[in-house]
Amino acid sequence: MLSVAPPPAPTPAPRPESLPAQIDLDLVQRFDKLGPRYTSYPTADRFVEAYDEQSYRQAMRTRLIGAVRQPLSLYVHLPFCNTICFYCGCNKVVTRDKSRAARYIHYLGKEVEMQAALAGDDRRVRQMHWGGGTPTFLSDHEMRVVWELLRSNFEFTPEGEYAIEIDPRSCPPETIRLLAELGFNRASFGVQDFDPAVQRAVNRIQPYEMTRDVIAASRAHGFRSLNVDLIYGLPKQSVSSFTDTVERVLELRPDRIALYSYAHLPQRFKPQRRILDVDLPSAAEKLGIMARAIDLFNRAGYIYIGMDHFALPDDELARAQRSGTLTRNFQGYTVGPDGDMLSFGVSAIAKVGPTYSQNARELPAYYDSLEQGRLPIIRGLELTADDLLRRAIIVALMCQFCVSIESVEAAHLVDFDEYFAYELEALKEFEELGLVEREPGWIAVTPKGRFFVRAIGAVFDKYLRADKNRVAYSRII
Ligand code: SF4
């Protein structure tokens, strides 16, 4: 198996914070191409079935040989949702049958125990994330069972970050108390839009007061780095209606805000067929909604972290960005170091050493594997030296907005200018537009270029170069 030392964290180039007051909307349209979000590189659509359970077991054995092991991150996928949100493109199971969770937890337990055995005697955990679906679909008792299951198999460090995605519609304040008692200390709230007309059009009825109360309860119980998810481009949205939503969100003062663009791909995501084209904002209106929201975030003092994410200056993400320890994984931006991630549940993706692996995407296949005593891995990838090199560059661009050429050359033993002659030529377009600057020893994204960091990072994506299948990805706007 290939083993390459991780590159030393580059010293970030000095740079002013956040985005310029005005985003260049002509450039937004110019670079509004379908592209990956780079929560991994290579992206999951490059995983191969030849990478199987045995490959994963080998990766875990190799991990145990490593002299220095970072504490683990854990991801737990809980796929059930009570109702369907029409815009949703996640892997979820919509059901009102609460009893289905018990069977899922039974198999999750088997998987956790098998994985813990592979992790050997080093089971320290520094980060955990429960995502979905809707983790709070589970009853309080079931959430306690899952937490105990994990705690009896892994060792959670007291200073760790333990996060959960919360749907305010299925999480009364009493449940927040339980989550805090269990050990969760970070939370992300799905909001999307407070306008009742938009909520009806996407089948997600969630009164403002419900969100306000669950956020207040989270603060009262010691949760930190609270995040709110918003989506622009939804049906019935306008600049004026979304301004109201953003202003109400800013009153709640979350530590972080994620602002996602709605990608209408009804041919790919069946629930989106229930969204009427006629209700969608025009391209110009959508652009206006985005620009207005970013302007309001800027005025309210939020820092642009990168791709869709904003944070208050004293939030961990903003601090990590300043100190050069920000990184990116399957949950988006996170605070480093970037160690191994074990993942549990249907469709979950793990990262161990220079490998990725993914579990079965459907419940029957997931259950069936575990019933037979096999890990439910269906595909994955062992990264090549070239993949690792490009991943380091894309992560540095996405997280620090700059790349130290010297660090890359030292860690990966390449002559940068020679190895990336094609990419450096392609970067010239961004340089001419003032989005990227090349300085001796550095490639730096300018403040004007930050909003386009996905397009800039994509220059280094070897797989995307000849890609005819960009429909699998989302757009900037
Ligand atoms: S948006 Fe969240 S709650 Fe709604 S269907 Fe998708 S996963 Fe479930």
Which one, of 137, 145, 115, 136, lies nearest residue 187 by Cα?
136
Round to whole Å and give the CA distance between 249 and 243: 10
**C-alpha–C-alpha distance, residues 192 and 80, integer Å:** 19
Q: Ligand 1 pocket test: which of 77, 78, 84 has the largest number of ligand atoms within 8 Å of its C-beta?
A: 84
pTM for the whole structure: 0.92
Coil, strand, or helix at residue 76? strand
Q: What pLDDT score does 17 carry?
A: 52
CATH code for position 278: 3.80.30.20
Q: Give domain status of residue 284, yes or no.
A: yes
Decide if pLDDT at 295 tops 90: yes
Query: pLDDT tier at 2 (50, 70, 90 boundaries)?
Result: very low
CA distance 429 to 414: 24
| Position 3 pLDDT exceeds 50 | no
pLDDT digits (tens, 9 = 90+) for 184-216: 999 999 999 999 999 999 999 999 999 999 999
Percent of the chain topping pLDDT 70: 92
- When divided into structural domains, the chain yields a total of 2
**Lowest-confidence region among 9-13, 116-120, 146-150, 261-265:** 9-13
Question: What pLDDT, on a 0 to 100 scale, did the predictor assign at position 6?
Answer: 44
Q: Round to whole Å and give the CA distance between 350 and 378.
A: 12
Cα separation of 197 and 379, whole Å? 41
pLDDT band at 153 (very low <50, low <70, confident <90, very high): very high
Tell me: the pLDDT tens digits for 215-262? 999 999 999 999 999 999 999 999 999 999 999 999 999 999 999 999
81 lies in the same domain as 182: yes
CA distances to 127, 227, 301, 334, 464 from 186, in Å:
10, 8, 21, 12, 34
Best residue among 80, 86, 87, 88 to mutate for probing ligand 1's pocket (most ligand atoms within 8 Å of CB) is: 88
Do both 315 and 389 map to the same domain?
no
Q: How many angstroms separate the alpha carbon of residue 134 from the centre of ligand 1?
A: 7
What are the start-end ranges of the E strands in 223-279?
Answer: 224-232, 256-261
Q: Ligand 1: list residues with CB < 6 Å.
A: 81, 84-85, 88, 90, 92, 132-134, 167, 190
Rounded Cα distance between 416 and 12, Å, is 18
| CA nearest ligand 1 atom 4, residue | 85
Q: Is 351 among the domain residues?
A: no
Which of 252, 251, 245, 332 lies closest to 293 in space, CA to CA? 245
Specify whether 168 is located in the same domain as 209. Answer: yes
Mean pLDDT of 70-91: 94
Tens of pLDDT, residue by residue over 328-352, are 988 889 987 788 999 999 999 999 9
| Tens-digit pLDDT profile for residues 17-46 | 556 667 788 888 888 776 788 999 999 999
Identify the pLDDT of residue 64: 84
Mutate to test the pocket of ligand 1, among 77, 80, 81 (most ligand atoms within 8 A of CB): 81
Say what the pLDDT of residue 121 is.
85
Does 184 lie in the same domain as 97? yes
What φ, ψ does residue 103 adopt, rounded to 5°?
-65, -40
413: in domain: yes
pLDDT value of position 475: 59
So what's the pLDDT on residue 44? 94
What does the block give as tokens for 360? 């079965």
Q: Are residues 191 and 112 in the same domain?
A: yes
Confidence of residue 120 (pLDDT cuts 50, 70, 90): confident
The DSSP bridge pattern shows strands 256-261 and 224-232 to be: parallel
Domain contains 330: yes
Task: State which of 341, 376, 409 marks the end of a domain.
Answer: 341
Q: Are residues 427 and 402 in the same domain?
A: yes
Do residues 293 and 419 both lie within one domain? no
CATH number of the domain bearing residue 476: 1.10.10.920
Per-residue model confidence (pLDDT) at position 35 = 76
Give a yes or no: residue 291 inside a domain. Answer: yes
Regarding whether 305 and 252 lie in a shared domain, the answer is yes
pLDDT at 54 over 70: yes
164 and 198 in a single domain? The answer is yes
Contacts of 197 (CB under 8 A, 6+ apart): 236, 241
**281 and 331 housed in the same domain:** yes
* Residue 361 placed within a domain: no
In tens, the pLDDT along 407-451 reads 999 999 999 999 999 999 999 999 999 999 998 999 999 988 998
Domain limits for position 55 = 44-341
Distance (Å, whole) CA 135 – CA 131: 6
In a domain, 105, yes or no: yes
Q: How far is the CA of 379 from the centre of ligand 1 (A)?
A: 25
Q: Is there a domain that residue 161 lies in? A: yes
Query: Are 113 and 259 in a shared domain?
Result: yes
Q: Is the dihedral of CA 155, 160, 165, 169 positive or negative?
A: positive
Among 227, 104, 105, 213, residue whose Cα is nearest residue 161? 227
- The mean pLDDT of 125-151, rounded to a whole number, is 96
Say how many Å lie between the CA of residue 425 and the centre of ligand 1: 42
Which of the four pLDDT bands, split at 50, 70 and 90, describes residue 69? Answer: confident
